[in-house]
Amino acid sequence: MKHQFEHLTASTAELLNLSNDLRIREVQSERWVHYPRAKAALVAMGRLAAHPRTTRMPSLAIYGDSGMGKTMLMRKFCEDHPPIVDPRKGIERQQVLPIQMAGKPGERQLFAQILHALGVNQGLRSGAVDMQFAVIRLLKAIGLQVLVIDEVHNILAGSAREQRIVLNTLRYLSNELNLSLVCFGVADAREAISGDAQLARRFDELTLTRWSSTPAFEELMISILRNLPLREPSVLTALSLRRILQITEGLTARIFRLMNDLAITAIENGVEKITDSAVDQWRPPFDAEAVAA
């Protein structure tokens, strides 16, 4: 049986039973919205998580400007592959482990971040070799399949020697543990990864380009509207879609923020839908020149 509000997903339609304040809170909350480009990225990462162990495991680099949704993709992928307890051995198995590349990366810093992500406090006096052995032992124990690294372009913050050491360490971990790497970063991340030719050859690339007037953007907008708890369907013209692209400069995070603002206004005003007029009249809450001043 179809639900009453067919312009919404079933889970979003259930939110219409909430008060206006609670609906607004739901709009403001971080939530995952399915759209084709994100699905393609998740499928690519999922293949790595399911890949049989081989001598040279494939890896993936996902590039995009800040605000293109890389961090949300990373979180969704990790949420889809949570740690599980092996009932026979009574130990926790973890396919996917996320870390963030430090602003001043180095071999010891990289090991420390992995240990921290595993909930291990190695101690300030531990040497790089001791930390390396601890990382290898623990990652083998949990059966890690994919090491996810956010902000990988931060490798470039180190000297040429430090960059080589970090890249060599990543290659060593991939070789020693037969695991895949998934790296997220801005365009500069290509330069960072290319610093190790052997490592770079293992990476497929996926670039999250800014949105433009394409069917893919229309599909994104449909997905967003289906996940906003408004009682009436929102139908936007091509002119409104072009204005949204102009306002947001095609950045995913700004598009979501704008649509959330419009949805909140629609709830507060009792209009219960986003209109072309609302898009045309929307102005940023803070004047750019005033903020710059």
The SS3 of residue 202 is coil
| Segment 250-292, tens digit of pLDDT | 999 999 999 999 999 999 999 999 999 999 999 887 654 443 3
- Where do the H-state alpha helices sit in the chain? 10-14, 20-28, 36-49, 70-80, 107-117, 128-142, 160-177, 189-193, 197-200, 215-226, 238-248, 252-269, 276-281, 288-292
Identify the pLDDT of residue 242: 97
Which burial class, exposed, middle or buried, applies to 9 when counting CB atoms under 10 A from its CB (0-12, 13-18, 19+)? middle
The pTM (predicted TM-score) of the whole model is 0.88
For residue 15, how many C-alpha atoms fall within 13 Å in the half-sphere facing its CB? Answer: 21
pLDDT higher than 50, residue 26: yes
Which residues of the chain are in CATH 3.40.50.300 domains?
Answer: 36-208
Identify the pLDDT of residue 256: 96
| Segment 212-258, tens digit of pLDDT | 999 999 999 999 999 999 999 999 999 999 999 999 999 999 999 99
| Segment 44-53, tens digit of pLDDT | 999 999 999 9
CA nearest neighbour of 34 among 208, 209, 225, 238: 225
Contacts of 160 (CB under 8 A, 6+ apart): none
Alpha-carbon span 213 to 234, nearest angstrom? 19
pLDDT higher than 80, residue 187: yes
CATH architecture of 36-208: 3-Layer(aba) Sandwich (3.40)
Identify the pLDDT of residue 84: 87
Identify the pLDDT of residue 292: 37
